Amino acid sequence: MHPTRRDVETVRRLRATTAAAPLLALAACASPATGPAAQAVGVPPAAQAAAVVQPQDGTSSCTGPAGYRVAFPAEWSTNAAGVLPTCSWFGPGEVVVPEASDVRTAPVALQVVDGPLTEVAVPVPDEVTRTELEVAGRQAVRTQQVTTLGLHPEGTRITTWAVDLDGRTLLADAVELPGGDHERAVAALDAMVETLETATA
């Protein structure tokens, strides 16, 4: 079944909550219709919630109120509670969420939305790759897109991960921002899936 215009607009609105329209580095990119077999990603079991901590492996970690925990580069930071929940935006330097949260200032964002993976991770017209994966036994989809219409300037590159959370979906994306290092942001985003822990795992 092909997604309707309403499906596409719904997904765009869900992704726009953190100004995202898009976690593991893939050995090769898959096209929308063909590509390598899905790779299983080793993700640790769920852990208790904790504040931002800095382990000895060069990363920091945080736990969002929705129940996920991720590690991110030690030289990066994440947002404090406020307009968005803690552990939502990630990037180099201090991460400050403006009052109008649709103004994206951090390259990487995570959010949990209500709705199953099959409804949230529907294809969008400007998608260029789609790879279906398994993350610690959970269904996941990694997509790449180059925007044509929407919140971001035409030609903006976005990489998105959608991970099934038993009726809810974790959306994690890296958005190309002016003056930013998009390749570094995508690498950080992809690495985060290897550390993803969920309270529902």
Radius of gyration of the chain (CA): 16
Q: Which is higher by pLDDT, 135 or 165?
A: 165
> 59: part of which helix (H) or strand (E)?
strand 59-63
Q: In this model, does residue 20 exceed pLDDT 70?
A: no
Domain ranges of the chain: 5-198
What pLDDT was estimated at residue 99?
85
Placement of tokens 């942001």 in the chain: 185
Placement of tokens 């974790």 in the chain: 170
> 146: part of which helix (H) or strand (E)?
strand 138-146
Q: CATH assignment of 5-198, given 3.40.50.720, 3.40.1000.10, 3.90.180.10, 2.30.29.30?
A: 3.40.1000.10
Q: How confident is the model at residue 54 (pLDDT cuts 50, 70, 90)?
A: low
Mean pLDDT, the chain, rounded, equals 77
